[in-house]
């Protein structure tokens, strides 16, 4: 096993999205086909950005705020995340090398734990990706219905405020622009899913190593060595051999643990995640405050927003609900992965504590007690030292969102 072949979904998303994030520890590059493909995808996104920014000045302020600014912020979020990973490319490759070192061990138990851990997030990621892409296609395909109704079009007819030519717009240019909007929106979302999958894969692989260490430690104290040597007549010698065997196995396990901890495996990962987490929160706050400021500058009231929402068609509402559901699943995946990493990091000695460690010699008891004390260190990821990514934070966000939704309904 290695970082590249342990999670085929992560590899596919990395290629399809055109992100081409590092998958190996060496300097091996991607095939020329995928490099050209990635270049074309980035050119598509650059084209979309170039026509989207000026388009926000040629459409009504409500549409510019609702469709234009949000699209720009989402694009900035993806680009900032990818740039952050690329600037840490050396550290990421170091992390991949450390992971490959521990994954290369020929151990069926490790293979089973790694595969099981990776599989636990495969279905939510597929749902998040498919729901988002389908909702985007459904949302952006509505302008195509106008082709059968008239022959000239305007900027407001595009689903996003883009400018390709002067008004009125011909049918061919309108179809071309709508296709670009659909493709660029679907690809920018796929890039977002690809970066999320890349980080989640790193988290799950580290979590699997903690689970492996915990299970291996409990197996060491299961007294199997003594059971295999029950035919020996010298019981004291048998117990001495058992302690020697256990001490040797624990040393091997501690070296494995040191690779995970002291080789900067966790520190590099958490530094990368913390920076990405700050990017996400900064952009979220910027979008929130930017929306408020823009509304005040352009005089957009709550009544205008609610009226605009009620005017949406059933097709638009369904696509928004689908996209929102995918966003909730994304937040759940990130928080769940961090919760699993936190639980695994503090439960290394949990299983072994319920085994017969107390029947060993003083040296082994002392070593195990030191391991328990060292295991009290928790791994947390917080943004701006305010929120920890965990399932409790996920539930708190849902509760606050529900309260805000009720407040908006009462004021309607």
Q: Where are the alpha helices (DSSP H) in 221-264?
A: 224-228, 235-261
Distances (CA, A) of 297 to 52, 71, 102, 292, 300: 20, 20, 56, 9, 8
DSSP annotation of 230 reads T
On the question of pLDDT at 305 being above 60, the answer is no
Q: How many CB atoms lie within 10 A of CB 372?
A: 14
Q: Please report, rounded to a whole number, the percentage of residues in the chain having pLDDT higher than 70.
A: 75
As a whole number of angstroms, the distance between CA 356 and CA 358 comes to 5
On the question of pLDDT at 39 being above 90, the answer is yes
User: For residue 224, what pLDDT is reported?
Assistant: 55
pLDDT in tens, 214-254: 888 887 777 554 454 444 444 444 555 666 777 777 777 77
Q: What share of the chain is helix, strand, coil (3-state, %, to 5)?
A: 75, 0, 20
User: For residue 261, what pLDDT is reported?
Assistant: 65
pLDDT in tens, 306-326: 555 445 666 666 767 777 777
On the question of pLDDT at 128 being above 90, the answer is no
On the question of pLDDT at 15 being above 90, the answer is yes
pLDDT band, residue 292 (cuts 50/70/90): very low
User: Which residues are registered as beta bridge partners of 223?
Assistant: none
Q: How many CB atoms lie within 10 A of CB 261?
A: 16
Plot region of 264 (φ>0 → left; ψ -120 to 50 → alpha; else → beta): left
Crossing angle of the two packed helices 108-119 and 171-220, in degrees rounded to 10: 140
On the question of pLDDT at 16 being above 90, the answer is yes
pLDDT in tens, 244-285: 777 777 777 777 777 666 544 554 455 455 545 544 444 444
- Report residue 290 as tokens: 């930017």
User: For residue 14, what pLDDT is reported?
Assistant: 92
- Asked if residues 19 and 34 have their Cβ atoms less than 8 Å apart, the reply is no
């Amino acid at each position: 096993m290695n970082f590249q072949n342990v999670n085929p979904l992560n590899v596919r998303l990395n290629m399809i999205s055109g992100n081409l994030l590092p998958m190996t520890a060496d300097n091996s590059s991607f095939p020329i086909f995928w490099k050209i493909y990635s270049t074309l995808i980035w050119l598509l996104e650059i084209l979309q950005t170039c026509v989207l920014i000026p388009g926000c000045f040629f459409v009504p302020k409500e549409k510019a705020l609702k469709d234009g600014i949000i699209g720009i912020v989402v694009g900035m979020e993806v680009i900032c995340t990818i740039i952050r990973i690329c600037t840490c490319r050396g550290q990421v490759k170091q992390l991949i090398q450390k992971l490959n070192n521990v994954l290369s061990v020929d151990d069926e138990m490790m293979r089973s734990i790694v595969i099981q851990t990776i599989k636990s997030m495969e279905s939510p990621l597929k749902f998040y990706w498919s729901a988002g892409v389908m909702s985007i296609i459904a949302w952006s395909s509505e302008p195509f219905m106008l082709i059968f109704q008239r022959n000239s079009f305007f900027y407001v007819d595009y689903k996003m405020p883009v400018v390709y030519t002067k008004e009125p717009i011909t049918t061919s240019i309108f179809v071309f622009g709508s296709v670009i909007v659909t493709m660029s929106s679907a690809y920018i979302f796929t890039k977002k899913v690809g970066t999320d999958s890349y980080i989640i894969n790193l988290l799950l692989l580290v979590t699997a190593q903690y689970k492996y260490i915990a299970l291996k430690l409990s197996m060491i104290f299961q007294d199997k060595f003594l059971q295999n040597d029950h035919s020996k007549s010298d019981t004291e010698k048998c117990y001495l051999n058992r302690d020697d065997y256990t001490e040797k196995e624990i040393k091997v396990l501690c070296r494995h643990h040191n690779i995970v901890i002291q080789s900067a495996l966790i520190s590099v990962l958490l530094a990368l995640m913390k920076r990405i987490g700050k990017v996400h929160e900064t952009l979220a706050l910027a979008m929130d405050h930017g929306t408020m400021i823009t509304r005040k500058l352009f005089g957009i009231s709550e009544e205008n927003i609610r009226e605009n929402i009620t005017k949406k068609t059933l097709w638009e509402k369904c696509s928004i609900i689908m996209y929102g559901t995918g966003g909730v699943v994304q937040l759940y995946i990130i928080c769940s992965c961090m919760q699993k990493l936190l639980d695994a990091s503090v439960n290394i000695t949990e299983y072994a504590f319920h085994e017969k460690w107390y029947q060993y010699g003083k040296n082994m008891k002392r070593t195990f007690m030191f391991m328990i004390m060292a295991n009290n260190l928790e791994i947390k990821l917080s943004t701006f030292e305010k929120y920890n990514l965990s399932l409790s934070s996920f539930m708190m966000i849902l509760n606050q969102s529900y309260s805000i939704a009720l407040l908006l309904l009462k004021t309607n």
